[in-house]
Structure 1
Amino acid sequence: MRLIQYLDQDRLRVALVESADAVRPIDIDGGTYALANIAIDSGQPLTRVVEARLGDSLIDYQALVDERRLLPPLTHPDPAHCLVTGTGLTHLGSADTRSAMHAKTQVKEEELTDSMRMFKLGVEGGKPATGESGAQPEWFYKGDGDCIVAPEGALPVPAFAEDAGEEPELAGLYLVGADGTPWRVGYALGNEFSDHVTERFNYLWLAHSKLRACSVGPELLVGELPAHLEGVSRIVRDGETLWEKPFLTGEANMAHSLANLEHHHFKYSNFRRPGDVHVHFFGTATLSFADDIQTRDGDRFEIELPAFGRPLRNPLRFAEAAPVTVTTL
């Protein structure tokens, strides 16, 4: 089952994806957030809650895309109560690019870099037995719900940015129940979007490089995630494909299990605040930055995985410098 959210005038709507051409609206106010709360409170699977509220009509999916009415597939009524985070060095092969960024900062290049050491920890202990705690992954914070750009919306590039690079990933979307239990609502395609030049200068600037916009969707996959997924990431410039590369994801292509990544995120009690939404990126192994691609204003990122329906597409918009002044009260 796959769901989308969209705007109907000023009303937030949620719909079931019936096909590549049509979606069926669900009779509920409050979108996916409301559906998930009903499922949690009533102890029912989300699929059953959806099926009980399906409307009779179908609407044109392409019209929603063309009219830029798509929204991220799970949102919180108050964006401050949506936390956007992620983990890196989780995919087999993903350490190569990161290690190359700062290998020269190491005293001896023949020794493991910090990135390779972190990656090795994941390979050796990132998939523990059920009930056990495995190796901690690298973890980062991106922002609250205001940093999430809707599918087809423009990703803003701040004037101080050194780079504007895509990161094609899977994201887990969660809602914390009234008793503090995190519930996984589903999975979505994500463009985690980072400043790789800033990070390359010094990997201790990773935190700065991640404080950028991102995008997830357009579709929310409800249910089990296939262990092996093959997708394509591309950049389109002036109507022509500038760069394109396949990418692999899913647990079969990862050093960490999803359960281990989720454990090390939600083990912190402040991430189990009732009612909060979490969007957590699971990492990538494919970057155009590794192929020396420099993006420009107007370039469009396209990320697609057949299991997730329509691709996630976002153009770039470079912002002008805006001075920030801190004033004393």
Structure 2
Amino acid sequence: MRLVQFQLMDGQRRVGLVDGDRVHEVRGADSVRELALAAIEAGTGLARQVDDLGLGQHHDYLQLLDEGRILPPLDHPDPAHMLVTGTGLTHLGSAATRDKMHQQVGDESAITDSMKIFKWGLEGGKPAVGQAGVQPEWFYKGDGSIVVPPGGEFPVPPFAEDAGEEPELGGLYVIGHDGKPYRLGFALGNEFSDHVMERKNYLYLAHSKLRHCSYGPELRVGELPQHLAGTSRIWRDGKLLWEREFLSGAANMCHSFDNLEYHHFKYAQFLRPGDVHIHFFGTATLSFADGISTQVGDRFEISLDEFGAPLSNRVGRGEAVFTPSTVGIL
């Protein structure tokens, strides 16, 4: 089952079930978050909740996409109650690019901290069911205000040194009224980052991740295949600039999803009832590793057959929101 959130022509929200080139309204549902919370209270699954409500009017899916009326597949009415985070060095092959970025100049033989964490994941990232494995790298991206809808533009701040895509899967979660996290499913994601800044020093990773991101357009409900192979593309002036396959799924990862989720939700401050979490699971494929430098107007396209329509976003230009020496003093 694949779900979307979208707007009618008058701005009203709806939840829709994707069926080929059509989107069927889920009766009585205008928010995936509320739909999920109702399912939790009823003690049932999200797919069953949709089946129980039934379907109504249908819409042309391509038209909704073209008109920019598709929303992120999970959000919160208050962006402050939405947390966007992620993990790195989780995929087989992901250490090579990162290790090269963080290698000490003139010391090619030194093992970097990135490689150490990757090796720890290989050795202990897939523990037995019910046990905790080694903890992964973890980073914070922002709250709901940094989420760009499918088809939208990434506003690149004037202080940015790079505007690079990261094609990966995101886990979509709601915290139930019982204080427990519930995974609704997965979505395609573009965990947009500043790789030039990160390359200067791995301690700049936290800064490099404080950028906008996008995920969707569809929420895939249920478990995933063990092996997933998608395509990441960059288009410039209507022509293909760069293209590469990216892999995901448990068979291509050195951490299990269960382990990654445990090491995120083990923190009590992430278990506030009603909150929404978007957690990116990492990638091993970057255009930056192939020497690509994006520019305003470039379009990213991330596709994976199991997730329906591709995720497409453009590189835009953001405005300065703060300048030096402008802090007010009381």
Q: TM-score range by the shorter chain?
A: over 0.9
* CA offsets 1:188-233 (integer angstroms, 9 cap, x no match): 0000000000000010010000000000000000011111000000
**Cross-structure match for 2:272:** 273
SS state at 1:64 partner: helix
**Whole-Å separation in 1 of the counterparts to 2:85 and 2:195:** 17
**Cross-structure match for 1:295:** 294
Residues 89, 118 of structure 1: 8 Å contact kept: yes
**Whole-Å separation in 2 of the counterparts to 1:56 and 1:308:** 23
**Whole-Å separation in 2 of the counterparts to 1:227 and 1:212:** 30
**Cross-structure match for 2:99:** 99
Shift of 1:109: 3.2
**Whole-Å separation in 1 of the counterparts to 2:316 and 2:142:** 19
* CA offsets 1:286-328 (integer angstroms, 9 cap, x no match): 0000000000000000000000000000011022445432111
Q: Which amino acid aligns with 2:68?
A: R
TM-score normalised according to structure 2 size:
0.97
Unaligned ranges ≥5, structure 1 = none
SS state at 1:149 partner: coil
**Cross-structure match for 2:109:** 110
Pair 1:26-2:30 in alignment: no
**Whole-Å separation in 1 of the counterparts to 2:107 and 2:268:** 39
**Cross-structure match for 2:14:** 13
**Cross-structure match for 1:189:** 188
Residues 232, 302 of structure 2: 8 Å contact kept: yes
**Cross-structure match for 1:147:** 146
* CA offsets 1:73-112 (integer angstroms, 9 cap, x no match): 001111110000000000000011111112025x853231
Shift of 1:54: 2.6
**Cross-structure match for 1:328:** 329
**Cross-structure match for 1:134:** 133
**Whole-Å separation in 2 of the counterparts to 1:108 and 1:290:** 20
SS state at 1:122 partner: helix
Change in 2 beyond 3 A, CA 1:37/1:322? closer
Q: Which amino acid aligns with 1:66?
A: D
How many matched pairs?
327
Q: Which amino acid aligns with 1:15?
A: G
Q: Which amino acid aligns with 1:134?
A: G
Unaligned ranges ≥5, structure 2 = none
Shift of 1:165: 0.1
Q: Which amino acid aligns with 1:235?
A: I
* CA offsets 1:38-63 (integer angstroms, 9 cap, x no match): 10000011111101223332210011
Q: Pairwise mapping of residues 225-240 of structure 1 onto structure 2 (< 5 A)?
A: 225-240=224-239
SS state at 1:264 partner: helix
**Whole-Å separation in 1 of the counterparts to 2:169 and 2:16:** 21
SS state at 1:206 partner: helix
Shift of 1:72: 0.4
**Whole-Å separation in 1 of the counterparts to 2:241 and 2:187:** 25
Note the aligned Cα RMSD (angstroms). 1.1
Percent identity over the alignment is: 62
**Whole-Å separation in 1 of the counterparts to 2:158 and 2:174:** 34
Shift of 1:129: 0.3
